[in-house]
Amino acid sequence: MSLLLAWPNVRYALLALGVWGLLWMLGLLASVRVNPHLVARAGLELRSGTHLDLHIPWPRIADIRQRRSSSNQKLPVGHTGTNAVLSLQKTTNLEAALLEPISVQFPDGHRDKVDTIRFWTDTPTKFLDAVKPRPTEQPSQ
């Protein structure tokens, strides 16, 4: 390495830059892996890395269904009309319809009211199985 970069200060600067880049990539990976969508007692928690953290209470959700769709947006979090889109590679596979619009702050700075949220999960059938008996409902006897 000393043949390519004979100056120690440049070598140390590039080493520091490489370590910083590696740590940044690990942090980005951790933010996506640690913050998946959740089915909680109070409602749904939909997340997209550090871009969006959206809590939707059960009483505001009309229906959640499997619906595959594609979008042409460049960012993983966006909005089209009254729809919020949390996509993975421009694709979503679940859709939550709301009873009334909610206000969402998007990463691009816009705040809009949305009545439908489309999002991606790795296992949509397991997600729907967890949602079907909503956690706040009591099982019938």
For residue range 122-135, list pLDDT tens digits in order.
Answer: 888 888 888 887 65
- How far apart CA 65 and CA 94 sit, in angstroms, is 6
- Domains in the chain: boundaries: 1-34, 36-131
Residue 96, class by beta-carbon neighbours within 10 Å (0-12 exposed, 13-18 middle, 19+ buried)?
buried
For residue range 47-76, list pLDDT tens digits in order.
Answer: 887 778 889 999 999 999 988 888 776 667
What is residue 20's predicted lDDT score, i.e. its pLDDT?
A: 96
Q: At residue 89, does pLDDT exceed 80?
A: no
* CA distances (Å), origin 135, targets 38, 42, 58: 12, 8, 9
Q: Report pTM.
A: 0.68
Q: At residue 140, does pLDDT exceed 60?
A: no
Residue that wins the pLDDT comparison between 124 and 78: 124
Name the strands in the sheet holding 52-57, side by side, starting at the edge strand that comes first in the sequence.
38-39, 43-48, 52-57
